[in-house]
Amino acid sequence: MMLSRGHTPHTSTPITPTRAPTAMSRIPDADDVTPKVAGVPVDDPDVSSVLYDANMIEGALEQLAALVVSHLGDFEVFVPVTTGAMMFASDLVRSVYTVERMLREELQRGYKRMVISCATCASYGAGTSSDANVEVEVRLPSCDLKGKRVCILEDIIDTGRTVMALTKALYEAGAEEVALIALMDKSARRDAEATKYFEEKNMKIACAFMCPDEFVVGYGLDYGGRYRELPFIGVLKPELIAASA
Ligand code: IMP
Ligand code: MG
């Protein structure tokens, strides 16, 4: 089945510039120096290797959107975990809507409109995120959660402690069921307590990409607030992490 992009802008009226660009205002074309996939740059001087380019991300989003429509049709509240999941979530929810509209004849159910409301999670404690004593502070979405089926949208599952803390908080706030859609899974670093918790809750989980045990940036993922704007996901050069650690 071919699914169309969820985020291709359509306009019936061509947009014409109010002023023709002059030779002076033209931006030099960098086509000949920047590697590109379908017009999107696929490298950056601070990235040692690109793991997932824009085409791969787009393909993964289509699959995840189809999965949400087929398996989570009765989930109403979608909770992006900011800031990292903002790009993933904004592309995915539009893909879900597009798939729903495309399949509306075939689906034997009505469309449940999404409630989208963000959560914020911050880790505190001595040491890195792999420190078992780290505390995760959760700020819940502002929408009504009582009796709702809630789907967390996360950029990457690392130890799993962030998602575990958020899931617990959502259940405490009255959610009926909590599922998880993540773009990446760094499963090598998963915390045993988190794995046990997800199993006990019989949690529906889907991840698009298995991520190697390396620090990745781009498509929303950051290092010190930077690199989120990269249109691909790549491994940050280790010397850049060491230099500012
Ligand atoms: P966890 O609690 O260990 O699962 O950590 C998950 C959070 O850590 C994610 O929401 C990300 O914000 C962040 N994170 C984990 N690995 C990476 C990475 O490789 N790059 C950027 N952020 C990461
Ligand atoms: Mg995060």
Between strands 77-82 and 149-157, the pairing is: parallel
> What residue owns the CA closest to ligand 1's atom 12?
84
Query: Which pLDDT score, from 0 to 100, does residue 2 have?
Result: 35
Instruction: Kindly report the protein residue whose alpha carbon is nearest to atom 16 of ligand 1.
Output: 158
Are 235 and 48 a contacting pair, CB within 8 Å?
yes
For residues 227 and 245, give the distance between their C-alpha atoms in angstroms, rounded to a whole number: 16
**Containing H/E element for 56?**
helix 54-71
pLDDT at residue 112, rounded to an integer? 84
Query: Quick one: pLDDT at residue 135?
Result: 87
**pLDDT at res. 191:** 94
Identify the pLDDT of residue 30: 52
Told to judge if 46 belongs to the known catalytic residues of this protein, a careful annotator would answer no
pLDDT of residue 132: 62
Catalytic residue among 91, 155, 158, 185: 158
Give the pLDDT score at 126. Answer: 44
φ/ψ region of 80 (left if φ > 0, alpha if ψ in -120 to 50, else beta) reads beta
The pTM (predicted TM-score) of the whole model is 0.84
**pLDDT at residue 42, as a whole number:** 78
pLDDT the model gives residue 116: 98
Closest CA to 96 of 151, 16, 161, 39: 151
Residues in the chain: 245
Block mean pLDDT (10 aa), the chain, length 245: 37 52 55 65 91 95 95 95 97 96 87 94 62 82 97 97 97 98 95 96 96 96 96 95 64
Q: Tell me, using a 6 A CB cutoff, whether residue 141 lines ligand 1.
A: no
